[in-house]
Structure 1
Amino acid sequence: MIWLTWRQFRIQALVAAVALFAVAAYLLYLGVQIRHDYAADVVNCVPSDCATTRRLFSDRYEAPVALLGALLIAVPGFIGVFWGAPLVARELEAHTDRLVWNQSVTRRRWLAVKLAVLGAAAVAVTGVYSLLLTWNASRYDQWAGGRFGAMNFASRDVTPLGYALFAFTLGVVVGLLVRRTVASMAIVAGAFVVLQIVVPNVVRVHLMPPITTDVAFTADVMEHANGFGFNDTSARIIGYTMPGAWSMDPVSQIYNADGTPYNAKQARPCVTGDRAQDQDCMAKQHLHFQYTYQPGRRYWPFQWIELSAYTALSALLAAFGLWRVRRRVTLR
C-alpha cells in the first residue's frame, strides 16, 4: 500500500519538491541579505543616522517578508484543496472505488495508509518552508517585532505544521462526505480561509489573559510606534508595539508624570518639525502611557497550544474518516 500510494502521489510530490527548491533558494539568498543589512543598519549604525537607517531597513524588507509569509499561509490551504479533497472524492466520482475497495486491502487500511503517507508529506513540505522562513526573517522580526501578528504567527516555527495536517485531513473527510471533487475543493478552500480569519482575531487573543503596564514615553519607544497625535484635551501614541510582544492597544492615551492627560498645549513647544528633537523634548517631560500586551515569552506557549489544537482536530477528523469509510459511500 505504501508503494502504491507513492506511485499515485509521485507527480504531486515532484511539483511540490520543485516549488520548494525554488522558494528555498530565494529564502536563503534573502536571509543572507537581511542579516548583512541588520548588522550594518541596526546593530552598527552611526548614532546620528540610526533612526533613519533602521527605518529604511524595516521598509526595505517589509514587503518581501510579508509576501513570503502570505505564501506559506496559503501552502496548507493548497495542500487541503489539491491533495486532500481529491483523495477519496476522485475515487468515488470515477467509480474506481468499486475496484480499489474490493481487494484484499480493507477500506480502513487503504485510507489509513493514505492519511499517514500524504499527511507526513504535507507536514514535511510545510515544515521545511516554515523552518527556512523563520530563519530568513528572524533578524527582521527581532527589530520590527510583530511575531504575534496574524500573518507572522501563522507563518513561523511550528504552527504551520498543524495547519498543514489539519487542512489535508479536512480535505480528505470533506471529499469522503461530499463525493464530488470540485465541490469538495471549494468547500475546503472556503473553510480554510474562514479559519485563518477567525482564529487570529477571535480565538487566539483569549488563549491567555493579557498584561497591562506603564511605559515611559522615550525616543526608543517612538521608534516602535507609527506616530502620535494630540488635541486640546489629550494626546495619544499610535501603533506602539513592544519588541517581541503582541500589542492589544492600537492607540494609547499619554499621561503626565502626575497622571493627568497630556494635551496639545503642553505638546506644542516640542513640535518643531525635527523628529529627533521633538522626541527628545517630549521625553524630558517624563510622560507615560498604559500598554496592554501579550509578552514575548508567551510566544512559544501560544505556538504549542495552537499546534496541539489543530493536531487534535486532525486526529478527530481522521478517526471520523476511518469510521465513515467502512460504510457504503459509493456513488449511485
Structure 2
Amino acid sequence: MMWLNWRQFRVQALVGAGALAIIAAYLLYYGADVRDGYDVYQAGCQGAADCAQARSQFRSAYENTLLFLAAGLGLIPAVIGTFWGAPLIARELENGTHRLVWNQSVTRPRWLLSKVLLVGLAAMILTGASAALLTWAAHPFDEVVKNEFSTFVFGARNIAPIGYAALAFTLGTIAGLLLRRTLPAMAVTLVLFLAFQFFFPNVVRPSLMPPDKATLPMTAQAINEAQNLGSIGGGPVINGVKVPGAPDAWIASTSPLRTSDGKTLDGAKFNNCINTPPKTGASGTFGDAAVCLEKLDLHVDVRYHPASRYWAFQWLETSIYLALSGLLTAFGLWRIRRRVS
C-alpha cells in the first residue's frame, strides 16, 4: 500500500524537493548577507546614539525582505493543502479509481490513513525545513529587532509552521473526501485555511494564556517611543507602546488614550495636539504633539505577554493545529467507513 502511495505521490515529492532546494540555496545566501550586516551593526554600535542609528540602518536594510519571505513561507501550507491535500482523495473518487483498491484486501480506513500519513509527513518535513532555514537566516535580525510576536514573524519561525502544514493538508484531504470533486475542494481548502490563519492569530492567540496588565502614563518620552498616534478616523489611540521593564513584550491590546479620571480623551483635544500643538521646539518622533499630550495627564491600559512566553505560545499553537489535524483525520476515517460508496 505504501509503495502504491509513493508511486502516486512521487511527482509531487520531486517538485517539493526541488522547491526546498531552491529555498535552501537562497536562504543560505541571504542568511550570510544578514550576518554581514549584523557585523556592520555591531561595529557601528559604540554609544547609545550610535547604536540607535546603526540599529535603524540594519533594520531598514533587511526588514522588508524578511517580511516578504515570512509571508511566502506562510503560503507554503496553503499551497500544500490546496495542491496536495484537496486532490488526494477527491481525484480518486472523481475518477472512480478508489474501487480498485477497495476490491483488494486493504480496508478503506487503512487506505485513507496510509495516504494521509505519507503525504502529510512530507508536507510537514517540507514546511518545517523551510521554517528552520528562515529561522536561521533571520536569527541576527530577530535578536536586534525583537519582533518575534508579530503575526507574520511568529508564523514563519521555529515549529509553528509544522502545525500549519499538518492542518492545511488534512483540511484539504477532508474537503476532497466530502466534496468528491477536485477543483471545488481546492477552492474551499484555500479559502478556509487562509480565513483560519487570519482568525487564529488575531482572535485566539492572544487568549491562549492570561495576559499581564499594566497602566502606562503617557509622558512625552513614552509617546515618542511609540510607533504611531491616531486612527484612520482620527481617534485618540496610540500603538506600539513599550512596557517599562519588559520592552520586548507582546502588547496584546492597548486602550485609547485616557484622562486621569479613566475617560477616553476627547477627540477634539487630541486633534488639536496632533494638528496644531503649541510650538516648544521639542525633538523626538512626535515632537511638540508629544509635549502637548503629556500636559493632558494621559495614560493607557495595556494587556501584554512577556517575551519569556514565546516558546510557550509556539508549543501551544503548534499543539492546537496538530490536534485539529488529528480530529479531521479521525473524522475522515469515520466518514469513509460509513458514508462513502
TM-score (norm 1): 0.83
Q: Give the match's secondary structure for 1:293.
A: strand
Within the candidate set 248, 254, 258, 1:244 is matched to 248
Distance 2:36 2:254 in 1: 31
Q: What does 1:174-213 correspond to in 2, within 5 Å?
A: 174-213=175-214
- CA displacement at 1:304 relative to structure 2: 1.1
- CA displacement at 1:40 relative to structure 2: 2.2
Alignment correspondent of 1:103: 104
Q: What does 1:178-327 correspond to in 2, within 5 Å?
A: 178-213=179-214, 225-226=226-227, 238-241=239-242, 243-249=247-253, 253=257, 271-272=281-282, 274-275=283-284, 290=300, 291-327=302-338
Residues 128-150 of structure 1: CA distance to partner in whole angstroms, max 9, x if unpaired?
A: 01111112222222222332222
Which letter maps to 2:171?
L
Q: Residues 108 and 292 (structure 1 numbering): CA distance in 2 closer, same or farther, change over 3 Å?
A: closer
- CA displacement at 1:213 relative to structure 2: 3.1
Q: Residues 44 and 215 (structure 1 numbering): CA distance in 2 closer, same or farther, change over 3 Å?
A: farther
Alignment correspondent of 1:64: 65
Residues 137-187 of structure 1: CA distance to partner in whole angstroms, max 9, x if unpaired?
A: 222222223322221111111111111111111111111111000000111
- CA displacement at 1:93 relative to structure 2: 0.6
| Contact in 2 for aligned 1:144/1:224 (Cα 8 Å) | no
Distance 2:204 2:151 in 1: 12
Alignment correspondent of 1:161: 162
| Contact in 2 for aligned 1:249/1:292 (Cα 8 Å) | yes
Which letter maps to 2:250?
W
Alignment correspondent of 2:33: 33
After TM superposition, the structure 1 stretch with the greater mean CA deviation from structure 2, 144-153 or 44-53, is 44-53
Distance 1:184 1:26 in 2: 32
Residues 19-76 of structure 1: CA distance to partner in whole angstroms, max 9, x if unpaired?
A: 1111111111222222222232257424343333221211221111111111111111
Q: Give the match's secondary structure for 1:247.
A: strand
Q: Residues 247 and 174 (structure 1 numbering): CA distance in 2 closer, same or farther, change over 3 Å?
A: same
| Contact in 1 for aligned 2:224/2:284 (Cα 8 Å) | no
| Contact in 2 for aligned 1:237/1:254 (Cα 8 Å) | no
| Contact in 1 for aligned 2:44/2:50 (Cα 8 Å) | no
| Contact in 1 for aligned 2:254/2:303 (Cα 8 Å) | no
1:143 and 2:144 aligned: yes
| Contact in 2 for aligned 1:236/1:254 (Cα 8 Å) | no
Alignment correspondent of 2:128: 127
Which letter maps to 2:52?
A
Distance 2:107 2:113 in 1: 10
Residues 207-266 of structure 1: CA distance to partner in whole angstroms, max 9, x if unpaired?
A: 12222235688999778632568xxxxx9764235653211345774999xxxx9x96xx
Q: Residues 249 and 311 (structure 1 numbering): CA distance in 2 closer, same or farther, change over 3 Å?
A: closer
- CA displacement at 1:206 relative to structure 2: 1.3
Which letter maps to 1:34?
V
- CA displacement at 1:299 relative to structure 2: 1.2
Alignment correspondent of 1:89: 90
- CA displacement at 1:271 relative to structure 2: 3.1
| Contact in 2 for aligned 1:147/1:245 (Cα 8 Å) | no
Q: Residues 136 and 270 (structure 1 numbering): CA distance in 2 closer, same or farther, change over 3 Å?
A: farther
Q: Residues 324 and 156 (structure 1 numbering): CA distance in 2 closer, same or farther, change over 3 Å?
A: same
Distance 1:226 1:140 in 2: 19
Which letter maps to 2:3?
W
TM-score (norm 2): 0.81
Q: Percent identity?
A: 45
Distance 2:324 2:210 in 1: 24
Q: Give the match's secondary structure for 2:7.
A: helix
- CA displacement at 1:298 relative to structure 2: 1.2
Distance 1:250 1:292 in 2: 7
Q: Give the match's secondary structure for 2:213.
A: strand
Alignment correspondent of 2:51: 50
Residues 90-122 of structure 1: CA distance to partner in whole angstroms, max 9, x if unpaired?
A: 001111112122112222211111111111111
Which letter maps to 2:68?
L
After TM superposition, the structure 1 stretch with the greater mean CA deviation from structure 2, 245-254 or 12-21, is 245-254
Gaps of 5+ in 1: 230-234
Gaps of 5+ in 2: 231-235
Alignment correspondent of 1:232: none
Distance 2:308 2:223 in 1: 22
| Contact in 2 for aligned 1:142/1:244 (Cα 8 Å) | no
| Contact in 1 for aligned 2:160/2:314 (Cα 8 Å) | yes
Distance 2:281 2:255 in 1: 20
